[in-house]
Amino acid sequence: MTYLSTCWSLFILLKQAIKTRQRLVKILFFIGLSVSLSAQGAQPKSPFVLADDGDFGPFSYNNANGELAGIFPKIYVEVFRRLNIPLLYEGYPWRRTQKLIAEGAADAMITIPTPARLEYLVASDPLFIEPFAIWARRDHPRVEKIMAIDSIADIHGYKIVELKGNGWAETELTRDGLDLDIMWVGQNTLPQILLLNRADLAIMPVNVSRYTLRKNELDMNNSLIHSKHYLRGNSFCLMVRKNSQYVGIIPEFNRVLAEMKSDGSYDKIVEGYFTLEEFRK
Report the distance separating Cα 254 and Cα 256, nearest Å.
Answer: 6
Q: What is the pLDDT of residues 229-274, one digit of tens each?
A: 888 888 899 999 999 999 999 999 999 999 999 999 999 998 888 7
Amino acid 64: pLDDT: 86
What rounded mean pLDDT belongs to the chain? 82
Spatial neighbors of 88 by CB under 8 A, at least 6 apart, are 24, 26, 27, 30, 47, 48, 49, 50
Amino acid 4: pLDDT: 43
Q: For 6-28, what is the mean pLDDT?
A: 44
Q: What is the pLDDT of residues 186-204, one digit of tens each?
A: 877 888 899 999 999 999 8
Amino acid 72: pLDDT: 95
Which domains are assigned to the chain? 3-128+235-279 (3.40.190.10), 131-233 (3.40.190.10)
Which amino acid is residue 278, in one-letter code? E
Q: For 33-51, what is the mean pLDDT?
A: 61
pTM: 0.73
Band of the pLDDT at 280, cuts 50, 70, 90?
low
Report the distance separating Cα 250 and Cα 103, nearest Å.
Answer: 21
Amino acid 15: pLDDT: 44
Q: Please determine, for residue 156, whether its predicted confidence score (pLDDT) is greater than 80.
A: yes
Q: Please determine, for residue 67, whether its predicted confidence score (pLDDT) is greater than 90.
A: no
